């Protein structure tokens, strides 16, 4: 009554359907892991260079 009842499964046969957007499949895990590792390496290298530059300026 007044829309509070549960829908029967026959009324909405598409309730279990879902869609994957591009980049959400299993095949992209390796690419995401590689990008993650490269971003960590770039962050460490960048922070090392900035730290070295600050250390050299304050010597």
User: pLDDT in tens for each of the 59 residues of the chain?
Assistant: 566 666 555 555 556 677 777 777 777 888 889 999 999 999 999 999 999 999 999 99
The pTM for the full model equals 0.56
Q: Where are the domains of the chain?
A: 28-57
Q: Helices in 1-59 by DSSP H: which ranges?
A: 29-57
Distance CA 32, CA 51 (A): 28
In whole angstroms, give the CA distance from residue 29 to residue 35: 10
CB 3 within 8 A of CB 9: no
């Amino acid at each position: 009554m007044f829309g509070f009842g549960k829908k029967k499964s026959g009324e909405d046969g598409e309730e279990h359907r879902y869609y994957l957007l591009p980049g959400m499949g299993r095949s992209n895990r390796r690419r995401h892991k590689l990008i993650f590792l490269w971003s960590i390496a770039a962050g460490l290298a960048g922070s090392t260079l900035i730290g070295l530059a600050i250390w050299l300026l304050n010597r």
